[in-house]
Structure 1
Amino acid sequence: MRRFCSPCLSLCCLIGFFGSETRAADRLVATVHEPAPPAAPAETFAMGAAVSPAGDKLTVDSQSLLMNGRRWMPAMGEFHFSRCPEGEWREELLKMRAGGVRIAATYVFWIHHQEAEGLFDWTGRRDLRRFAQLCQEAGLKLVVRIGPWCHGEVRGGGLPDWLLAKDFPSRRDDPRYLQYVRDFYGEIGEQLAGLMWKDGGPVVGVQLENEYRGRAEHLLTLKRLAREAGLDAPLYTRTGWPTLATPMPPGEILPLYGAYAEGFWDRSTRPMPGRYWMAFRFSPLRTDAAIATDLLGEREARDPQGVELYPFLTCELGGGMTPSYHRRVRIDPADVETLALVKLGSGGVLPGYYMYHGGENPRGELTTLQESQANGEWNDLPQVNYDFQAPIGQYGQLRPHYHALRRMHLWLDDWGEALAAMPPTLPAERPVGREDHGTLRWAVRSDGHAGFVFINNHERLADLGPKRGVRFEVELPEGDAVTLPRDPVDIAAGTRIVWPFGLPLCDGLRLEHATAQWVTSAEGQGGRTVFFAATPGVDAEFVLSGVGIEVESKGRVRQEGDQRVVDSLTPGRDVALTVRTPAGETVRIVLLSEADSLALWKLEWLGRERVLLTEAGLVVDGGALRLTSSDSAELAVGVWPADDLAPKGLPRAAADGVFARFDLDAEPAPPLDLVVEQVRQAGPPREIPLGNSPKPVAAAPAAEDFAAAARWTVRLPETLDPASDPLVRIHYVADVARVSFGDELVCDDFYHGRPLEIGLRRWGHGAAAGDLSIELLPLQRGAPIYLPADAWPAFDEGKPFARIDRVELVRRRVAELKPSNDRD
């Protein structure tokens, strides 16, 4: 996209408020100034080797990351390799790539690799080198978060017990501590030898420490030790919270930020305590005051001095949340999508999610490896389960926010370079205080000529209500005015959208504005096709300009001055409007329904980028499109463009709008019954003590407490093949659940109102051996925990409650579409 310069752009939002849902009518005004040059150019940053053997150069300035001098705005997703069996890494990384993630991030937990002093383990699920190699094979770059202290809800924050037992302090420049760190970093360096960016490998970044509030000099020491170990990377990062005890010299280490919809760590047992609500409002602040309130306490959100010298990068946008024993936070997928949209509208240039893929804690040889109050830490976490309600679950499940985030990432693939150069502007009038639910939340990013309007009408656990009569008026410096939309519309509660204005579609054609969300675009079949998502409850209108353009549409087309206005469109899979320019260029617009836009993918397959439409899970693996779903009817995929596929030996396709639809041959799985039997009633309820933390909260049950748990057995069908990756879904109500095969604990769960899912593929040896055992400790009325209100049962005369409603077997079906000469 070309850059435009102009003195300023005045943006006004006229919102007519009617009824009790909104405030009285106001005129909200924001002024977008000409973008300033970077406050700190790339030459001022003291990063590592930036150039790959192929000549690609990765740098950073105060505005964004730069790839070969062009602004680069990738999505980054956290996936802990040691929390997933190594045999599943490849498929899960392909899912991340298909979801629009371009950088994988992972902690390297010291205790996972050196539980006993002198014995390092880099095998199996701890094989960092193999994980990095698979990232590269999947087309992902990699950021390693090497601690030494990581947190990640791991025992000791990742520092081994034997190290913490030494008679010297950790996390500071004590030479005795640093010698052990040097050894640990040296091991990581050996694992990643030849895999750094400068070597042609995927590793582009190294995070040092985590949530560190000591002296900056210690982080600089860690940076030096990392480089001495061979970890020479284009990017060195740290978490931008909390404030360091001494200032960091400019340009040495990049601060990355975060925000969560709600956290497990708060001491309160109320919903949405503290300042989580601030994450749902556009703001000039990068620092979030709600992260790590257990460690850092309640505080005001305040950015450190000199923040403008760095780009607004994030590494911990909450992709979900893990429940702790005392806080059973249940995340709505809309919360996750909203966090990402709000941070982008506030100026973010790297959406980085923690977690993007859930996991499970590995089995320790000496202790369990989760954070616990019994170990003197702040919270009690499940011994095994670290699913995190993430976009991709611990057993590879794709959740609704996976699809919502993918839609956003597709847009960033098209417009991220331009968006990174567009500073944010907030309106003069914004919501005031926590209880202001009537003022519309919106922001603009613009280069002074083109841009995007970000609109959010969702806040976790709050009813913002519809906003009536919304209309944005954009006054351009040349004196033109763009009305967005041309007539006022209502913005429904829960809406979270981005509307474009001033975008060049091709030479001689400009999109003045659209009241629909750009999803993606691709070249093919004699032109460019752009896929938009209709905004629920809003009639889509497209306003186009260009000398001599011809517009055809199934909707209404009218001329207004030198512009063409297209509206009265019905969302669908066919072309909604076609525009041709005098130079012979063609642009087609497809207006998808909200549901179809969430089923849209764009991946390179058979030699070119293609837009794909399927409700199934989807990855590209070489020449194959691999679809996965528990519903055989979903094993179909629409492909565009498809005009070159006929010679490739694919099955016959049917027309489905612009798509060529392939229905893959997958017979429905025959039903298999589970036999569920209760074999033990619950014993007397335990007294729930406080834990052993600096600010203690309710303590999770110990292993011996499960002697009084109610117990069920689940007989799996003898014909079930665990290798087919089935799930057992347990609908239950209790305090805590533990699931085992024999003496082997498979998963545990702190009940929070959602079913517990267990993937059987990785437990095939146990599944073949016999019954699944489910133990439930009863939930007690008045337990000192936070649990969503609708998750509490109706207690019978106050008696503790433990019940299994049903146990399902969810069978995941797989089908592939690939050329006949690639078939086995």
Structure 2
Amino acid sequence: MNDDARQATLVASRRLAVAVPAAPRRGHLHVGDSPAGPDAIEVTSRYVERAGRPWFPVTGEIHYSRIPRERWSEVLGHARAGGLTSVATYVLWQAHEPEPGRFRWDGGLDLRAFIELAARHGLDVVVRMGPWAHGEARYGGFPDWLVDRGLATRTNDPEYLELVQALYAQTVAQLVGLTHVEGGPIVGAQMDNELYDQPEHLARLREIAEEAGLRVPIWTATGWGGAQVPDTLLPVYSAYSDGFWDDEQTEWPAFASFHFRYSPVRDDLSVGADLREALDGISVDAGAPPLRDDDEVPFATCELGGGMHVAYHRRPLVTPRDIEALALAKVGSGSIWQGYYMYAGGTQRTGPHGSEQESHATGYPNDVPQVTYDFAAPVGEHAQVRPHHHHLRRQHLWLHEDGHRIASMTSTVGGGSEDLDELRWAVRSDGRSGYLFLSTYQPSTQPLPGQVDVQITVDLDDDSVTVPTVPVDIPAGVSLVWPLRYPVSPSVVLRSATAQVLTRGSDDDGEILVLGAYEGIPVELVLDGLLDVGGAGAGVVRGGTTVVSLVEPAGPRCVVELPGVRILVLDPVSAQRLYVLDLAGRERLVLSDAPLYSLGGELVVHPDEAQHTLWLLPAPAGLVADGAHLSDPRDDGPWRTWTLDARYAGRTRLMSEVEPHATAVPDPVRGGPMDRLSAPTDFTGAAVVHVDVPAELLDGADRALLRLTWTGDVGRAYVGDRLISDHFWHGRVWDVDLTPWAAEVAASGVRFELLPWRRSTGVWVHPSVRDVPDGVHVAAIDLVRVGRVQLTGVEKD
């Protein structure tokens, strides 16, 4: 077969026609603002509208009651900088009514203060009101005294509802003046959680909340697992790339691979199935159809796995790229609301009965750590910023810029079955323009191969677009989205591009469209018409279009000049460093290799190394730093750059290559309703490592983390007799925040009690870290000092 025939065959086999979607249905759902105002929220059958145009919310779960109050602002700042538009949070009944009739809303339980602070950071709020929440909280968040009464909870039992009415009345009282209709940030409320067979109860919960005075435009209930959701609530969905709740014999859960393919099916019958079976005796047929009337409600999510918790018996190692690819697959499948669980980790609360984590002792199928609820989230238990914060921000910048267009587009799957060798692709389009999604990504337990000579033709309503113009190879492990007929300016249309739309910016020279290149894929830009091209681009006229290739490598200096507009093409590393933040009253493009966020028109940087570089576009005339020394500015292409020297940030090695000996190891035991491995409780024979921390290393830093790189089974960290952290080893480092205990640590150090790894126990860990010897090995203990630098922009007089 000659090359022309081969290319024609490829194009023909990868061709898809998309049509202009029908108008969405309106007025049939019992949600939305009433009466409507200028910022009214309406839910149609396909998307949510706000202020009269489609709206694409991005929500992340952050539990105020599990984060020290003094860290709320930092965590919310990172969430907003990461591209979230809203946060969701559980109201844990056990925290707020520890004794019957005695409610607490003080200190770290001040829900109202948390919501007000979220609003200050520009974030909306979804209140997950319970009464049952779960979230790996003891008895699912129910107080012990409620459990002891033996009521028919999570039903319309009158005695139970009387207690719920009191809880809701107290909760709603905290929200007065903060709802959307009152000009506040609260846009939604969720009723209960993962309740599958009590639609009348879910409906009654909304009624109770409304009777207490709550008015919000969006009322939701979790819809996965074939849940029966009443028509007064909007079903929202989940997707996880792995699950600690599966058995230790499971190499990769059966449900997981589905979420890396494009599909209009929203439901996942297996998330939480163990809890349903163990506590409620309910089994869902895996072949059951998805929730009825999907076409009547939009595809909204609330629990895309932002990470994954670990149980003793099963300890997933979900990677940043797993999370990134799953999230993008949901956008390609038609999601109009991205919601992550968790977005920021936290610490399990301590209550009257000790740690309030769920466990075999409370009848839960899985033993989870007593202290940590880090969840390997984008923002960690101690506000550590992880790589997936940056991976996801790349998507969120795009959703922020183009979400009003994307939300109204429908998704059509072009290819991608369970066959690992088949290219996975889909198109999301309004019939005239859109986005092409392609993926060769699946987690390393079942990876996908690369694809050779990829070229797709999309037949739109009035035109056909073939991308790229010459077939390209797609490397393995890539998840991407390319624009089709994208309006760059009133006179420039980007017909196609083998790069991702990220965001837009502007400076004194005009508008800038920012694209992000993908590793291993040449950047090609195709523009409608015959256009002059300059800067980092070279144009060739072909068939009524201008095909642009780059004459400089993608990066911060790669600027393609077009009539009246510029296109900045960032390399993959720079794209992960890109923020859009307010500084001195103006949104600016920011490239930073240290985590940062904006608050009150200033930038707050949290460096963990002594030196970092900051790029701004457009730049203010100057910067003033509090907490670091700034170099003189330097102009670099369209950017101005500064080097930041943070004197209180950096890493110090305290100990390395230690193999402490455990004198006795407890025998494995099983427990809980599914007879799974239980976490050991006997540490009398554990290996002990004592770490002294010089007092001068604890002074000045905003946060001091003791970081263990180790292998073993279970570890506990003590300051004196106080348990301050624990860890089920699963291949990640273990961070212990010393900041709250700095004086005690300086005086007496930290004691680690570590139980050794024994393969024969049968605990599941990821294959990439599984081949470790039995015993305890501490490769390194570092003190990581995180600084806080405040940057103020100075404009010209």
Q: What is the TM-score with the length of structure 2 in the denominator?
A: 0.93
SS in 2 for 1:706: coil
8 Å contact 2:610–2:650 — kept in the other structure? no
8 Å contact 1:16–1:469 — kept in the other structure? no
User: Which residue number corresponds to residue 33 of structure 1?
Assistant: 19
CA distance in 2, matches of 1:690, 1:391: 32
8 Å contact 1:287–1:301 — kept in the other structure? no
Q: Kindly report which structure 2 residues correspond to 1:334-413, keeping only aligned pairs within 5 A, or say none.
A: 334-413=321-400
CA distance in 2, matches of 1:653, 1:595: 22
Q: Kindly report which structure 2 residues correspond to 1:275-294, keeping only aligned pairs within 5 A, or say none.
A: 275-294=255-274
In the superposition, relative to structure 1, how do residues 733 and 203 fare at CA in structure 2: closer, same or farther (>3 Å)?
same
Q: Kindly report which structure 2 residues correspond to 1:773-792, keeping only aligned pairs within 5 A, or say none.
A: 773-792=751-770
User: Which residue number corresponds to residue 507 of structure 1?
Assistant: 490
Q: Kindly report which structure 2 residues correspond to 1:564-643, keeping only aligned pairs within 5 A, or say none.
A: 564-569=546-551, 570-580=553-563, 586-634=564-612, 636-642=613-619
User: Which residue number corresponds to residue 805 of structure 1?
Assistant: 779
CA distance in 2, matches of 1:161, 1:220: 26
8 Å contact 1:16–1:26 — kept in the other structure? no
One-letter code aligned to 2:544: D
User: Which residue number corresponds to residue 700 of structure 1?
Assistant: 679
User: Which residue number corresponds to residue 204 of structure 1?
Assistant: 187
User: Which residue number corresponds to residue 645 of structure 1?
Assistant: 621
One-letter code aligned to 1:638: W
CA distance in 1, matches of 2:350, 2:392: 32
Tell me which moved more, 150-159 or 804-813.
804-813
8 Å contact 1:676–1:714 — kept in the other structure? no
Aligned counterpart in structure 1 of residue 442 of structure 2, from 450, 455, 459: 459
Give CA-to-partner distance per residue, 1:451-481, whole Å, 9 cap, x none.
Answer: 0001111111222121110011223443x43
In the superposition, relative to structure 1, how do residues 794 and 413 fare at CA in structure 2: closer, same or farther (>3 Å)?
closer
One-letter code aligned to 1:341: L
User: Which residue number corresponds to residue 83 of structure 1?
Assistant: 66
In the superposition, relative to structure 1, how do residues 689 and 591 fare at CA in structure 2: closer, same or farther (>3 Å)?
same
Q: CA deviation at 1:788?
A: 1.6
Q: CA deviation at 1:74?
A: 1.8
User: Which residue number corresponds to residue 327 of structure 1?
Assistant: 314
Q: CA deviation at 1:57?
A: 1.1
Give CA-to-partner distance per residue, 1:231-289, whole Å, 9 cap, x none.
Answer: 211110000123345x623xx10000010000000124322122211111001100023
Q: CA deviation at 1:212?
A: 0.5
User: Which residue number corresponds to residue 550 of structure 1?
Assistant: 532
CA distance in 2, matches of 1:452, 1:123: 47
CA distance in 2, matches of 1:336, 1:576: 30
User: Which residue number corresponds to residue 721 of structure 1?
Assistant: 698
Give CA-to-partner distance per residue, 1:723-777, whole Å, 9 cap, x none.
Answer: 5302111111111010111111111111101110112223335424421010111
8 Å contact 1:50–1:197 — kept in the other structure? no
Give CA-to-partner distance per residue, 1:328-352, whole Å, 9 cap, x none.
Answer: 1111111100111000000001110
Give CA-to-partner distance per residue, 1:277-310, whole Å, 9 cap, x none.
Answer: 1111001100023311313457236322111111
Q: CA deviation at 1:674?
A: 2.9
Aligned counterpart in structure 2 of residue 243 of structure 1, from 178, 203, 226: 226
Q: CA deviation at 1:692?
A: 2.4
In the superposition, relative to structure 1, how do residues 186 and 261 fare at CA in structure 2: closer, same or farther (>3 Å)?
same
- Which stretches in structure 2 are left out of the alignment for 5+ residues? 277-282
Tell me which moved more, 553-562 or 229-238.
553-562
> 2:543 matched to 1:561?
yes
CA distance in 2, matches of 1:577, 1:677: 51
CA distance in 2, matches of 1:766, 1:668: 20
- Which stretches in structure 1 are left out of the alignment for 5+ residues? 1-13, 18-22, 581-585
CA distance in 2, matches of 1:323, 1:524: 47
Q: Kindly report which structure 2 residues correspond to 1:414-493, keeping only aligned pairs within 5 A, or say none.
A: 414-427=401-414, 429-431=415-417, 433=418, 436-460=419-443, 461-478=445-462, 480-493=463-476
User: Which residue number corresponds to residue 709 of structure 2?
Assistant: 731
In the superposition, relative to structure 1, how do residues 128 and 302 fare at CA in structure 2: closer, same or farther (>3 Å)?
same
Aligned counterpart in structure 2 of residue 659 of structure 1, from 633, 639, 655: 639
CA distance in 1, matches of 2:659, 2:769: 25
In the superposition, relative to structure 1, how do residues 97 and 509 fare at CA in structure 2: closer, same or farther (>3 Å)?
same
8 Å contact 1:50–1:233 — kept in the other structure? no
CA distance in 2, matches of 1:820, 1:605: 9
In the superposition, relative to structure 1, how do residues 679 and 527 fare at CA in structure 2: closer, same or farther (>3 Å)?
closer
CA distance in 2, matches of 1:356, 1:283: 24
One-letter code aligned to 1:714: V
> 2:50 matched to 1:64?
no
CA distance in 2, matches of 1:608, 1:749: 43
User: Which residue number corresponds to residue 279 of structure 2?
Assistant: none
One-letter code aligned to 1:420: A
One-letter code aligned to 2:595: G
SS in 2 for 1:402: helix
Q: CA deviation at 1:26?
A: 7.8
In the superposition, relative to structure 1, how do residues 821 and 364 fare at CA in structure 2: closer, same or farther (>3 Å)?
farther
8 Å contact 1:83–1:360 — kept in the other structure? yes
CA distance in 1, matches of 2:407, 2:779: 50
User: Which residue number corresponds to residue 318 of structure 1?
Assistant: 305
SS in 2 for 1:136: helix
User: Which residue number corresponds to residue 295 of structure 2?
Assistant: 308
In the superposition, relative to structure 1, how do residues 173 and 266 fare at CA in structure 2: closer, same or farther (>3 Å)?
same
CA distance in 1, matches of 2:343, 2:295: 28
Aligned counterpart in structure 2 of residue 529 of structure 1, from 512, 517, 523: 512
CA distance in 2, matches of 1:16, 1:342: 29
In the superposition, relative to structure 1, how do residues 672 and 450 fare at CA in structure 2: closer, same or farther (>3 Å)?
closer
CA distance in 1, matches of 2:588, 2:186: 28
Aligned residues: 778
One-letter code aligned to 1:394: E
CA distance in 2, matches of 1:151, 1:665: 44
One-letter code aligned to 2:698: D
Give CA-to-partner distance per residue, 1:584-633, whole Å, 9 cap, x none.
Answer: xx110111110001000011221221111111101112232222222222
In the superposition, relative to structure 1, how do residues 212 and 126 fare at CA in structure 2: closer, same or farther (>3 Å)?
same
8 Å contact 2:623–2:793 — kept in the other structure? no
Give CA-to-partner distance per residue, 1:355-376, whole Å, 9 cap, x none.
Answer: 0001111111223200101111
User: Which residue number corresponds to residue 47 of structure 1?
Assistant: 31
Q: CA deviation at 1:97?
A: 0.4
Q: CA deviation at 1:706?
A: 1.0
CA distance in 1, matches of 2:206, 2:603: 42
8 Å contact 2:659–2:778 — kept in the other structure? no
Q: What is the TM-score with the length of structure 1 in the denominator?
A: 0.90
One-letter code aligned to 1:659: W
> 2:91 matched to 1:108?
yes
Give CA-to-partner distance per residue, 1:700-721, whole Å, 9 cap, x none.
Answer: 112xx01121111110112123
CA distance in 2, matches of 1:720, 1:706: 30
User: Which residue number corresponds to residue 137 of structure 1?
Assistant: 120
Q: CA deviation at 1:812?
A: 1.7
Q: CA deviation at 1:689?
A: 1.2
In the superposition, relative to structure 1, how do residues 55 and 27 fare at CA in structure 2: closer, same or farther (>3 Å)?
closer
